Amino acid sequence: MNKDQIKGRVEEVKGKVKEATGVILDDKGLELEGNVQKNVGKVQAGFGDLKEDIKEDE
């Protein structure tokens, strides 16, 4: 696992927690912020996965 995979997955989890908190508290701003953070984490983790795939193919 590389640092992009780890950081991305951590951000994804933090975003999920923030999103769920926004739903529970009926805070649309917090919910949206969590959703964005979650998706940014997914992209970063995907980038890390791609880097690993490229490294394995070499």
The domain locations on the chain are: 3-57
Long-range contacts at 39-44 (CB < 8 A, ≥ 24 apart): 39/15, 40/11, 40/15, 41/7, 41/8, 41/9, 41/10, 41/11, 41/12, 41/13, 41/14, 41/15, 42/8, 42/12, 43/8, 44/4, 44/7, 44/8, 44/11
pLDDT at 57 over 90: no
Q: How sure is the predictor about 37, in pLDDT bands with cuts at 50, 70 and 90?
A: very high
User: How large is the average pLDDT for residues 18-32?
Assistant: 98
What pTM was computed for the model? 0.89
